[in-house]
């Protein structure tokens, strides 16, 4: 089942320079008997470009991560009539953009991993769920696969198309939103992301999400998740260090107390052995060699003295 509509024009006053294309309840009753292929073009007034930003999307993937349903954009031919003469401008590239599917919320900016790590260093990096045509003509394809929708699945989409003009600064009713482009000032802070840049300047900022493209499968992880993971890792490291410190203190703490010089304190733990009580008594009662003998002992010693010389050799 294919649908090809006429051009949808964004021509008119400034407040009419944007439009919303979204699904109705028809998708929720999708039987999947046939493929659904809808193509249409969106054009702007002369001299203005067009932004396309997917606000919300819920399209299915298969088990391999490939898109069952998807949205694609490409640059389209633009025809300008002047004095009944038609001038046709060919696009620089006629190829379709990569297929966009899965779940998308425009307020979670979807940029590639390389630019998020700072290699781009520019808030004007275009988000993945967007498309820009400076000539003011975008062709859109919305495709649904021939597979019945399950009760747990949901099919929906919402795309905002906004005219923009080249500018360096705010210019009257037009206000800068990045990369030298301006949109109508009333589209700022209106609850819709009109500009396709990761800064989300027209809505005062978005929540950053890093996207990694691998075999046409886009997986996302929020910055908040990374911050939480880093915090948990830090806490686990601190707990492990604390446990290690307690273990070292418990098993080696006494060694730290004995590492000082034993002679540095008068009350060293290396004490001289205390004599036993009976040993002390023996030492105290034993007479020293140099003590003077008693009177009785002197008299006994006198009896053993040799006779005097006079008694042995009397004088003649």
Question: Tens digits of per-residue pLDDT, 69-127?
Answer: 999 999 987 665 555 665 555 555 679 999 999 999 998 755 544 444 444 446 678 88
User: Binning pLDDT at 50, 70 and 90, where does residue 229 land?
Assistant: confident
User: Binning pLDDT at 50, 70 and 90, where does residue 185 land?
Assistant: very high
Domains of the chain with CATH codes: 2-224 (2.60.120.290)
pLDDT at 250: 78
Strand order in the sheet with 108-112: 108-112, 207-214, 217-222
The Cα 20–Cα 86 span in angstroms is 29
DSSP-assigned beta bridge partners for residue 160: 20, 53
105 neighbors 56 (Cβ within 8 angstroms) = yes
Rounded to the nearest angstrom, the gap between the alpha carbon of residue 263 and the centroid of all alpha carbons in its chain is: 57
Nearest to 131 by CA among 210, 182, 71: 71
Question: Tens digits of per-residue pLDDT, 35-72?
Answer: 999 999 999 987 899 999 999 999 999 999 999 999 99
pLDDT at 274: 46
Q: Residue 43 burial (CB < 10 Å; 0-12/13-18/19+)?
A: buried
The Cα 108–Cα 222 span in angstroms is 8
Nearest to 48 by CA among 159, 172, 183, 170: 183
pLDDT at 64: 94
pLDDT at 138: 95
Among 24-33, 249-258, 295-304, the range scoring the smallest mean pLDDT is 295-304
Pairing of strands 18-22, 156-166: antiparallel
Nearest to 167 by CA among 184, 183, 178, 182: 182
The Cα 141–Cα 100 span in angstroms is 11
Instruction: Find the length of the chain.
Output: 316
Rg (CA), the chain: 50
pLDDT at 285: 46
Long-range residue pairs from 115-122, CB within 8 A, at least 24 positions apart, any chain: 115/198, 116/208, 116/210
Q: What is the 3-state secondary structure of the chain? A: CEEEEEEEEECCCHHHCEEEEECCCCHHHCCCCCCEEEEEEEEECCCCEEEEEEEEEEECECCCCCECCEEEEEECCEEEEECCEEEEECCCCCCCCCCECEEEECCEEEEEHHHHHHHCCCCCCECCCEEEECCCEEEEEEEECCCCCCCCCCCEEEEEEEEEEECCCCECCEEEEECCEEEEHHHCCCCCCCCCECCCHHHCCCEEEEEEEECCEEEEEEHHHHHHHHHHHHHHHHHHHHHHHHHHHHHHHHHHHCCCCHHHCCCCCCCCCCCCHHHHHHHHHCCCCCCCCCHHHHHHHHCCCCCCHHHHCCCC
Q: Dihedrals φ, ψ of 54, to 5°? A: -75, 120
pLDDT at 89: 57
The Cα 32–Cα 285 span in angstroms is 120
Q: How does the average pLDDT of the chain come out, rounded?
A: 75
């Amino acid at each position: 089942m294919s649908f090809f509509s006429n051009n949808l024009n964004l021509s008119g006053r400034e407040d009419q320079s944007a439009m919303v294309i979204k699904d109705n309840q028809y998708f929720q009753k999708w039987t999947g008997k046939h493929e659904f292929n809808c193509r249409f073009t969106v054009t702007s007034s002369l001299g203005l470009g067009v932004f396309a930003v997917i606000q919300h999307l819920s399209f299915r993937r298969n088990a391999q991560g490939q898109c069952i349903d998807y949205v694609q954009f490409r640059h389209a031919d633009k025809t300008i009539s002047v004095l009944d003469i038609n001038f046709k401008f060919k696009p620089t590239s006629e190829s379709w953009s990569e297929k966009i599917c899965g779940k998308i919320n425009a307020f979670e900016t979807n940029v590639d991993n390389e630019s998020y790590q700072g290699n781009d260093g520019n808030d004007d990096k275009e988000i993945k769920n967007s498309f820009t045509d400076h000539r003011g003509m975008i062709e859109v394809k919305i495709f649904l696969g021939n597979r019945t929708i399950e009760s747990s699945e949901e099919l929906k989409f919402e795309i905002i198309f906004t005219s923009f003009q080249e500018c360096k600064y705010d210019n009257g009713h037009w206000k800068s939103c990045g990369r030298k482009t301006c949109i109508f000032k009333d589209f700022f802070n209106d609850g819709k992301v009109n500009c396709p840049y990761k800064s989300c300047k027209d809505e005062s900022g978005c929540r950053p999400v890093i996207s990694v493209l691998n075999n046409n499968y886009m997986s996302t992880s929020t910055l908040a998740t990374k911050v939480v993971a880093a915090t948990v890792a830090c806490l686990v490291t601190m707990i492990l260090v604390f446990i290690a410190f307690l273990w070292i203190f418990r098993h080696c703490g006494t060694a730290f107390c004995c590492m000082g010089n034993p002679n540095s304190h008068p009350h060293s733990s290396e004490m001289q052995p205390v004599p036993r009580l009976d040993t002390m008594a023996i030492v105290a009662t034993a007479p020293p060699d140099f003590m003077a003998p008693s009177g009785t002992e002197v008299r006994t010693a006198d009896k053993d003295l040799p006779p005097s010389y006079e008694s042995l050799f009397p004088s003649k």
